């Protein structure tokens, strides 16, 4: 019978992979993403979500053609061009990004769930405060416009 021998590099690789997997599920929607859902918005008006039950917090999902890999690449390209962003977690079908405001340094969480043949579900929410004065809605609309510009053929 063959014995499986764990070498230190193999053990470290496994440990790093496990920690990475925990990080992917550490976002605001950690309890929901396994079901393809984003966390519900709080009752405050500083959150928008394409899965919101409340119409005032609702926003259209992001329509990006192509498979999940193409959707993910397009999102990453758009986000890379946006200021004060940090990718917190990423997997094949989930992306969590934080945006930090310039002056007050407030942090907003933006999450995306990608699924084959479906629009990208999105949730953008402020961590603190009551109103965001429409910042999260504008951010998602800016992302939508940038994604649409990527899909237009060069003229």
- Residue 36: half-sphere exposure toward Cβ, Cα within 13 Å: 6
Q: What is the pTM of this model?
A: 0.81
Q: What is the pLDDT of residue 5?
A: 60
pLDDT at 10 over 80: no
The pLDDT > 70 percentage for the chain reads 81
- What would the mean pLDDT of 114-131 be, rounded to a whole number? 95
Average pLDDT of the chain to the nearest whole number? 87
Give tens-digit pLDDT for 33-89.
989 999 999 999 999 999 998 999 999 999 998 899 999 999 999 999 999 999 999
What domains sit in the chain, N to C, each tagged with a CATH number?
31-151 (3.30.310.80)
């Amino acid at each position: 019978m063959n014995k499986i021998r764990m070498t230190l590099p193999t053990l470290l690789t496994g440990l790093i992979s496990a920690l990475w997997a925990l990080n992917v599920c550490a976002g605001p929607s950690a309890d929901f993403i396994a079901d393809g859902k984003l966390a519900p918005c709080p009752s405050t008006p500083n959150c928008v979500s394409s899965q919101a039950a409340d119409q005032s917090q609702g926003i259209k999902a992001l329509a990006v053609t192509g498979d999940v890999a193409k959707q993910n690449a397009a999102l990453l390209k758009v986000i890379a061009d946006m200021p004060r962003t940090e990718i917190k977690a990423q997997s094949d079908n989930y992306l969590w990004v934080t945006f930090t405001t310039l002056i007050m340094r407030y942090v907003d969480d933006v999450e995306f769930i990608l699924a084959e043949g479906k629009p990208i579900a999105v949730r953008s929410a402020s961590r603190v405060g009551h109103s965001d004065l429409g910042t999260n809605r504008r951010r998602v609309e800016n992302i939508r416009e940038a994604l649409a510009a990527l899909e237009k053929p060069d003229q």
